[in-house]
Amino acid sequence: MYINLSDLKEIGGKKEFNQELELNSLKFAEREIEVADLIEINLEVFNTTDSFLVKGTITSKLKLNCSRCLKEFIEPIELAISEEVLKEEMEDQSELFIDEIIIDNIILSLPMKVLCSDDCKGLCPQCGQNLNEGECDCEIDTIDPRLAKLKEFYDKKDS
């Protein structure tokens, strides 16, 4: 997607750019992230002496997989953008290609390990049950020693 800058020739000038961008997925290194909604782009471009300053927000929804319980979930995002593009690095100063700016900002906003929620309980290491959806019947050996006595007590009581 290009922002037309042919009407932003004046130093100190400013231009608003509001658009929706449709991308199905973002590829970055080995990561591929699915985009679940249009990417709403609300930017202002400022013409400074030797660069164009791009500021604003992008909002969308991403389809992510929790790295703890592996479940797919939708994560709404709203990112503040602030980028400076040097004029000497632009092939053509009458337009600005912004896809990379948008993709880089989204990818860099994501942690290496995304979680469906901060207190995601993950999967049972023995049976694979998603512990957010309920407890499983596995005996977990790593019992707090302070509780071990209590467990002994209840085990005796049951038998």
Q: Any residues with CB less than 8 A from the CB of 132 and at least 6 apart, and which?
A: 69, 71, 116, 120, 121
Interface with Zn ion, residue 120, by CB under 5 A: yes
Interface with Zn ion, residue 138, by CB under 5 A: yes
CA dihedral 32, 35, 39, 44 (to 10 degrees): -20
Pick the binder of Zn ion from 43, 62, 69, 81 (CB under 5 A): 69
Residue 125 token pair: 């290491």
> By CB under 5 A, what part of segment 46-65 binds Zn ion?
none
Short-list 106, 110, 105, 85, CA closest to 96? 85
Per CB under 5 A, the segment of 17-25, 47-55, 77-85, 112-120 that binds Zn ion is 112-120
Pick the binder of Zn ion from 127, 141, 142, 154 (CB under 5 A): 127
Interface with Zn ion, residue 123, by CB under 5 A: no
